[in-house]
Amino acid sequence: MQSAKRQMTGKEALQVLLAGNNRFLSGKLEHPNHCEESRKGLVSGQDPIAVVLACADARVPPVDIFDQGLGDLFILRVAGNIINDHILGSIEYAVSHLHTPLVMVMGHSSCGAVGAVAQGVKLGGHIASLTPSIEAALKKAKGQEGLWTNNAAKELAKTTAKKIEESEPIIADLVTEGKVLVVATYYDLSTGEVVLL
């Protein structure tokens, strides 16, 4: 189990996650904080180093991708890694009550939600609520070099991160005060690499 964590900055937390992704890429995983002592130490509270808003896609597990463990990441997952009031409220809780210094939005390649909207699939039920944000990202990515849907996934991550960063009153204030860093990233399913956007 890691000893009590000192308060990190957002940049330091980002470096921890990128170093963990490098371990994931090289196959030299440490699997920190997966022991009984870590589990028992978290019963009375949590001190995550980052909020990660990721797609609900089963191929995109943030704890594994960043080689982290119990209590390290405050993870929110929704198809297309889009935001709504519930997601924003959860992020606000993490940054204001848990003092989590980093908020990461992680898009990924071969996103099924983006692909479905790009193909014009008629999404029914509540799935249709994902469409407007994805359509806007597809429009923004039109004509860019590379695969249209992957570029749209990147645009969606960047747009979502910007919306989070500007969300008032809580998050925007903490960003302005330098207490929270918001970043957009992209996970490539084929390589396993996470890159900053």
Question: Quick check: is 182 in a domain?
Answer: yes
Over 50: is that where the pLDDT of 2 sits? no
- What integer is the mean pLDDT of 149-156? 98
pLDDT tens-digit profile of 19-54? Answer: 999 999 999 988 877 767 777 766 777 889 999 999
For residue 193, being part of any structural domain is answered with: no
- CATH (domain of 140): 3.40.1050.10
Coil, strand or helix at 134: helix
On whether residue 139 sits in a domain, the answer given is: yes
**Which of 57, 155, 158 is CA-nearest to residue 111?**
57
Q: pLDDT for 178-195, tens place per residue?
A: 999 999 999 999 999 999
User: By residue range, what is the domain housing residue 66?
Assistant: 10-186
pTM, rounded to two decimals: 0.92
pLDDT in tens, 83-123: 999 999 999 999 999 999 999 999 999 999 999 999 999 88
Q: In the predicted model, what is the mean pLDDT of the chain?
A: 93
Tokens matching residue 184: 């957009």
pLDDT value, residue 46: 82
pLDDT of residue 122: 87
pLDDT band for position 142 (cuts 50, 70, 90): very high
- The whole-number average pLDDT for the span 1-14 is 74
The pLDDT score that the predictor gives to residue 123 is 87
Across residues 9-20, what is the average pLDDT? 98
2 found inside a domain: no
Whether residue 5 lies inside any domain: the answer is: no
Whether residue 191 lies inside any domain: the answer is no
DSSP secondary structure string for all residues of 44-103:
T----SEEEEE---TT--HHHHTT--TTTEEEEE-GGG---HHHHHHHHHHHHHS---EE
Cα–chain center distance at 165: 13
In a domain, residue 54? The reply is: yes
Secondary structure (3-state) at 111: coil
Average pLDDT over every residue of 139-149: 96
List 121's β-bridge partners, or say none.
none
Position 6 pLDDT exceeds 70? no
Burial grade of 142 (CB within 10 A; 0-12, 13-18, 19 or more): exposed
Q: What's the number of domains the chain is made of?
A: 1
Q: Is residue 87 one of the residues assigned to a domain?
A: yes
CA–CA separation, 167 vs 79, rounded Å?
Answer: 20
| 3-state secondary structure (DSSP) of residue 43 | coil
Return the higher-pLDDT residue of 7 and 19. Answer: 19
